[in-house]
Amino acid sequence: MDKLPHALRIVVDQLARLPGLGPKSALRIALTLLNQPEETTRTLGRSILELRDSLSLCRLCGSISETDPCQICSDPGRSEEQLCLVADWDALLTIDEAGFYSGKYLVLGGLLSPLDGMQSEQLATDLLQERLASGQIREIILALGTTRDSEATESYISNLIRRTNPEIRITRLAQGIPVGSELKYMDRETLKQSLNFRQQL
Ligand SMILES: [Zn+2]
């Protein structure tokens, strides 16, 4: 890669940082971009910039949104009494697009994972504390999946809630889900069943 022209090497280095891309595929993408009509490449560049400028994180739930608070948090038709905790925004989308849950959400920003260096300080527990302090929540639904990391996160989060708000009901999605599965890949029907038959912790 040392012989690449400077401008090309910068793009290749940046692309190679993306998940699933090594230096070779990064170079292939960079060359494809270079071979496209100039306007196509410029449009892509501009859209990436606008992505950062026009989107932000909702201050209430931590989801990616064009408005703050996001559409879901500012929807008066949604119950304030149920709060569904998800690991990431993809999982929120999966549940919400299925269209049967009418409470609110909170995005934790990941799962505890000592091996990947994901510590409790990196989870959005500050957002959770703020939501608990509102006094409106009666049930927290943990929708974190069934991997080892999600179980560790479940017990950490439920202990945290019990310490400050023992009156809140804590539930998790029913375990019809195959072990090790990630919530964002679940189909609508399985998801609906696991919410209907959720278990009390
Ligand atoms: Zn929100």
H-helix or E-strand spanning residue 67: none
Give 102 Cα–ligand 1 centroid separation in angstroms.
14
C-alpha 22 to ligand 1 mean position (Å): 34
Q: Could you tell me if residue 31 is inside a domain? A: yes
- 102 and 184 share one domain: yes
Same domain, 127 and 97: yes
Using the mean position of ligand 1's atoms as its centre, give its distance from the Cα of residue 90 in Å.
Answer: 14
- Specify which residues 115 forms β-bridges with: none
As a whole number, mean pLDDT of residues 146-162 equals 92
pLDDT band for 178, please (50, 70, 90 cuts): low
**22-66 pLDDT tens trace:** 999 999 999 999 999 999 999 999 999 888 888 889 999 999 999
Distance of CA 80 from the midpoint of ligand 1 (Å): 12
What range defines the domain where residue 41 resides? Answer: 6-54
pLDDT digits (tens, 9 = 90+) for 71-117: 999 999 999 999 999 999 989 998 999 888 999 999 999 999 888 88
Q: Write the CATH number for 47.
A: 1.10.8.420
**CATH code, domain with 122:** 3.40.1360.10
Backbone angles phi, psi at 194, to 5 degrees: -70, -20
Whole-number Å distance, alpha carbon 191 to ligand 1 midpoint, is 21
Average pLDDT of the chain to the nearest whole number: 90
Same domain? 42 vs 80: no
Is residue 181 situated within a structural domain?
Answer: yes
At 104, phi and psi to the nearest 5?
Answer: -110, 175
